A = this chain, B = another copy of it.
Amino acid sequence: MDLPNAGAGVNGDDAERDLPLKNAVEAVLFVSPDPLPLKKLGRIVGASPDELKAVIAELRAEYEGRGVELAFVAGGYRFFSRPEYASWAKQVLPVEKAPRLSRAALETLAIVAYRQPVTRVQIEEIRGVNSDAVLKTLTDRKLVVTDGREDVPGRPFRYRTTKQFLHYFGLTGLNDLPPLEVSSEEE
């Protein structure tokens, strides 16, 4: 039973029981290609949400004032380099083909984010301009997806934002969006 690289990934190994949970969490979060939700993390390292929360708080404190931070994004935890070091960090990274979003794209995305599910016509009523091309761009970039059809004549597609949207903007979840400004009429 003393196979070091156990492989089967059972969490109850004798050898593994002695390893600090904090280190296991650090290692798992470090290698994970996606933010890890608490639940999934718990299943992997065999710990309760409370244990995990304590350990994550410890890790966050340890990474305070360093080049790397442990962030909660799109419903999960993940390590990121800190923004102050971006100009160096990006020099070792490949350049993304997709440029930053245009104003029109951001606007359309905002409407989808706050009004989802929403049809193209509803978006265009607010923006006052055809939004076909913009929706295509957002769909191609997997920031929005169609989610069924509205039950009105023509049965138009309804759009909603994706997990990739949360990722892209570093949002914890949709409730992490700042509240939409009250129109000044209501003030």
Contact = CB atoms under 8 A, between A and B. Distances in A.
A153 interface: no
User: Which bracket fits the contact residues of A?
Assistant: 35 or more
A83 B36 contact: no
* Oligomer copy total: 2
Given A23-B67, A23-B85, 4 more contacts: A9-B90, A13-B87, A16-B87, A26-B67
Interface of A: 4-11, 13, 15-16, 19, 22-28, 30-34, 36, 40, 44-45, 65-68, 79, 81-94
Given A81-B31, A83-B5, A26 B88 contact: no
A84 B5 CA distance: 7
Contact of A30 (B8, B27, B81): B81
Given A83-B4, A83-B5, A88 B27 contact: yes
